[in-house]
């Protein structure tokens, strides 16, 4: 049974690695259930890459048990070949 939905803003940040970017804004949300387990995780961020192009990343997932989480991340950039 769902107890509470948690939502948190993401204000600024950076992405490091092969894809370097500045996060301008976003949101993270999760659903907490009985016993404190967290399921149905969603993160959406957008910003600018190191060349000034826009991007959006949407990551969704579910916690399968106390030690495992399965997620899928989808990114979109302008131009598309950058991310």
State pLDDT tens for residues 44-57: 999 999 989 999 99
Q: What is the pLDDT of residue 25?
A: 96
pTM listed for this prediction: 0.75
**Would you tell me how many other CB atoms lie within 10 Å of the CB of residue 57?**
20
Contact 29, 39 (CB under 8 A): no
Task: Look over the chain and give the mean of its residue pLDDT values, rounded to a whole number.
Answer: 84
Q: What is the pLDDT of residue 22?
A: 95
Return contacts of 6-9, CB within 8 angstroms, 24+ apart. Answer: 6/30, 6/31, 6/32, 6/38
| Residue 82 pLDDT > 60 | no
């Amino acid at each position: 049974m769902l107890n509470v939905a948690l939502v948190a803003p993401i204000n600024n940040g950076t992405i490091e690695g092969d894809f370097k970017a500045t996060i301008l804004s976003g949101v993270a949300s999760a659903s907490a259930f009985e016993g404190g387990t967290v399921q149905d995780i969603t993160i959406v961020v957008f910003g600018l890459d190191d060349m000034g192009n826009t991007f959006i990343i949407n990551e969704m997932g579910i916690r399968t048990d106390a030690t495992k989480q399965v997620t899928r991340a989808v990114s979109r950039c302008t131009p598309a070949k950058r991310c």
